[in-house]
Structures are given as C-alpha cells and as structure tokens.
Amino acid sequence: MTTLPLAGKAALVTGGSRGIGAAIVRRLAADGAAVAFTFSSAAVEAAAVVASVQAAGGRAEAMQADSADPDAVRDAVGAAVKMFGRLDILVNNAGLLGTRRLDGYDLDEFDRMYAVNVRAPFVAAEAARPHLGEGGRVLMIGSIVADRIGVSGAAVYATTKAAIAGMTRGLARDFGPKGVTVNNVQPGPTETDMNPASSPHYEWLKSQNPLGRVGQPQEIANLVAFLASPESSYINGASLTADGGFTI
C-alpha cells in the first residue's frame, strides 16, 4: 500500500474557493492532507470545493475570512489548528489583481491591495509560526510580475508581488532554525476567473508563450504540492517560476 506524501498533515490555504487556490486545496487533499481554506465572499464556490474533495475521499473545511482584516487572518490560523489539532503547511494564496494607470489612482485601492497581498501573508506566517514544527512548510503564491511586467497599469500589483519575493527570503531565515522552509511560487499567465479565456489579452498572452498557451490552475498546484512535500526539504527561500517560458 502506497502512503500518500502528505498523509497525516494539516494545511491551511488562504483564498481557496476559486482558481489556483481551489486547485491547491484539491491537490493537497488528494496527497493526503486535511485542508482548511478561507474565502472572502464566494460561499457557493467554497462549498463546491469542499464537496469535490469529500467526494474524492479527502477532507476539506471552508471558513469565511477577509484577508484585508488581520484579526480574521489570525482567527483563521487558530481555527485551522483547533480543527485539526496541528498545522504543518500554510499556503498564502489569497490576493487581489488590479491594473490601473497612475492618473487618479485611488489610494484606498492601493492600501487594500497591499493589505491583502502583502500584510495578510505576513500576519498568517506570524500566527502560524508557533504551530509549525520540523518539516513544516510556508508557501507564498507570488507572480512573475515581480520580475517582469508586460503591460502598463501593473505598478501596484507588481510592487506587492516583489514584496512577497523579498518576504520569502526574510521569512526563510526566521523559520529555518525550526526546520520549516519558506518558498514562493510565481505563476505566469494562468486561466482563472481573473484571467478567463474571454479576456481581451488572452490571445496575446498565448502568443508570447513558447508553449503557445496559458497555464492551468492544477499546473501551479502541482508545484505547490511538491514544495509542500518532504521531497523539497532542501529548497528554502526560493522564488520558483511556473510560466511555460513566458519570461525567458
């Protein structure tokens, strides 16, 4: 009998109701982990993710939490620990995507994007630290825009994702003595509800990729699952790109 790589582990995924987050929840559960995940407003989609995991024989639990609220983030970590009696894997996936030119940029929008994309992952990592032990994993979901920006209007979004890459390196130093690794997955263009096939930029994104297509959420989840597994034990503080060659 083959033992699943994450059997006996407990995970928390922020923003797990749709797109890449939902794919990560399903993949970690398929690998044997009990998975809690947060959602902000997509209750129907969250229930569907739970149902799909349960139908496949896994365990997933959804909880509503606005990542812009640091108390809600801390409460989600605490709830996951209480639910499973442990926490081994934290995936900071929740994020806001927005493109807008500088003229008339709404600073309230700037602050909310920074709160969700940067502050929330830091707060979640801080809250999870006492519960993560030897072999634990903290995983960030960044973006290739930390390294390359292909369109105008992405200055703020790119700033938040560059911050995630830097935070990953810093947290890797902080968590290392506990035997916990911290890594950052940087997806390229991926087909989600934030980047649907109906998007006006979809065909251009395909044309810029050597593979002639955009990525699928499960392909990002595959890399996350590897980094969450024992096989990735000597990878730490890294930002790993999964973009089909978009940025080469």
| Contact criterion met (CB below 8 Å) for 165 and 239 | yes
105, 114, 157, 202: which is the annotated catalytic residue? 157
How far from chain centre, in Å, is Cα 78?
19
Q: Which residues contact 189 (CB under 8 A, 6 or more apart)?
A: 195, 205, 209, 214, 215, 243, 246
Check if 157 is active-site: yes
Task: Tell me how far apart the alpha carbons of residues 86 and 132 are, in angstroms, rounded to a whole number.
Answer: 8
Phi and psi at 12, nearest 5°, equal -125, 125
| Contact criterion met (CB below 8 Å) for 184 and 240 | yes
User: Dihedral of CA 156/206/16/222: which sign?
Assistant: negative
Active site residues: 157
